[in-house]
């Protein structure tokens, strides 16, 4: 049984999709042991509590310095027996030591088809604003492993979503979540939990 810690900062709809997929059996061989939020007012915490999952708040800003933050995060992850870290709308940059320690065991959901509209500064609504500005007809979401770069790690799954006339960033964000994010994040977790994902030469192979 794969032991997962989910890191959140906001509404937690992706966390909810994972919780629901575990409950329905869409994800097998996995359980969420802990949810860590970077903000104490994140609605994601309520979703975790309602599902009977343990929660913690670790805010970078409230730590003395970066090594204090690093220590608190690593301690919490280890105490929970974490085998896979899922970034589900997590807005804090991870310490390098954590990325090293959990190499190819941290995944992130990004709301575009990487390498479009990703990297530094591309988060939240900004991603969809830029997609609309460029006039792309297709956008989507990507689940990828986290490496030291920003949105540069090996890609696990992508799903395309059509841009429609009259889309606003908010409308597009909602469609990308509904049609792509909430589907591919649980799917990637299920594949990993069932030993179907390997990384070779910085590329993902699915068996
Ligand atoms: C999602 O759009 C995700 O792709 C992005 O942040 C948003 C998180 O939403 N990184 P939620 O907290 O899962 O509702």
Please give the chain's pLDDT, 207 residues, in tens: 999 999 999 999 999 999 999 999 999 999 999 999 999 999 999 999 999 999 999 999 999 999 999 999 999 999 999 999 999 999 999 999 999 999 999 999 999 999 999 999 999 999 999 999 999 999 999 999 999 999 999 999 999 999 999 999 999 999 999 999 999 999 999 999 999 999 999 999 999
Tokens standing for 196? Answer: 């179907």
Residue 99 Cα to ligand 1 midpoint, Å, equals: 20
Q: Is 151 in the pocket of ligand 1 (CB under 6 A)?
A: no
Domain span including residue 80: 1-102
Kindly list the distances between the CA atom of residue 18 and the CA atoms of 88, 133, 162, in Å, as whole numbers in the listed order.
10, 31, 24
| Count of helices and strands (H, E) across the chain | 7, 9
Same domain (yes/no): 154, 125: yes
Q: Alpha helix locations (H) across 51-143?
A: 66-79, 96-101, 125-134
How many CB atoms sit inside 10 A of residue 162's CB?
13
Q: What is the pTM of this model?
A: 0.97
Structural domain count of the chain: 2
pLDDT for position 159: 98
Same domain (yes/no): 91, 119: no
The rounded distance, in Å, linking the Cα atoms of 180 and 159 is 6
**At which residue do the structure tokens 């908010």 appear?**
170
Same domain (yes/no): 117, 64: no
CB-facing half-sphere around the CA of 25: CA atoms within 13 A: 0
pLDDT for position 122: 96
Structural contact between residues 143 and 188, judged by C-beta atoms closer than 8 angstroms = yes
Residue 140's contacts (CB-CB under 8 Å, 6 or more residues apart) are 112, 113, 158, 159, 160, 161, 176, 180
Structural contact between residues 54 and 5, judged by C-beta atoms closer than 8 angstroms = no
Nearest 5°: the CA angle 50, 24, 197 is 105
Domain harbouring 138, CATH code: 3.40.50.170
Bridge-partner residues for 85, per DSSP?
A: 5, 106
Pairing of strands 203-206, 54-57: unpaired
pLDDT for position 127: 98
Same domain (yes/no): 20, 83: yes
* Closest residue CA from atom 6 of ligand 1: 89
Same domain (yes/no): 122, 40: no
User: Which residue in the list 72, 110, 128, 144 is annotated as catalytic?
Assistant: 110
Q: Is 16 in the pocket of ligand 1 (CB under 6 A)?
A: no
Same domain (yes/no): 155, 199: yes
Same domain (yes/no): 14, 81: yes
End-to-end CA distance of the chain: 19
Domain final residue, candidates 67, 102, 137: 102
Domain final residue, candidates 102, 122, 153: 102
* Closest residue CA from atom 10 of ligand 1: 89
Residue 202 Cα to ligand 1 midpoint, Å, equals: 25
Q: Is 4 in the pocket of ligand 1 (CB under 6 A)?
A: no
pLDDT for position 204: 98
How does DSSP classify residue 177?
A: I
The rounded distance, in Å, linking the Cα atoms of 72 and 22 is 28
Which numbered atom of ligand 1 lies nearest the CA of 111? Answer: 4
Whether 110 sits among the annotated catalytic residues: the reply is: yes
């Amino acid at each position: 049984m794969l032991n997962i810690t989910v890191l959140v900062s906001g509404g937690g709809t992706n966390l909810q999709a994972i919780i629901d997929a575990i409950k329905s059996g869409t994800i097998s061989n996995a359980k969420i042991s802990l949810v860590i939020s970077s903000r104490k007012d994140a609605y994601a915490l309520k979703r975790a509590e309602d599902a009977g999952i343990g929660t913690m708040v670790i805010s970078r800003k409230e730590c003395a310095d970066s090594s204090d933050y690093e220590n608190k995060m690593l301690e919490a992850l280890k105490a929970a027996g974490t085998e896979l870290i899922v970034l589900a709308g997590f807005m804090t940059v991870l310490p390098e030591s954590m990325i090293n320690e959990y190499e190819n065991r941290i995944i992130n959901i990004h709301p575009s088809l990487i390498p479009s509209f990703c990297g530094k500064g591309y988060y939240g609504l900004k991603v969809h604003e830029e997609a609309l500005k460029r006039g792309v007809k297709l956008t989507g979401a990507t689940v990828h492993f986290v490496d030291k770069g920003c949105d540069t790690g090996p890609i696990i799954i992508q799903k395309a979503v059509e841009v429609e006339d009259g889309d606003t960033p908010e409308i597009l964000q909602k469609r990308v979540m509904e049609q792509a994010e909430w589907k591919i994040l649980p799917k990637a977790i299920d594949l990993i939990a069932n030993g179907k994902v390997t990384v070779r030469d910085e590329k993902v192979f699915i068996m």
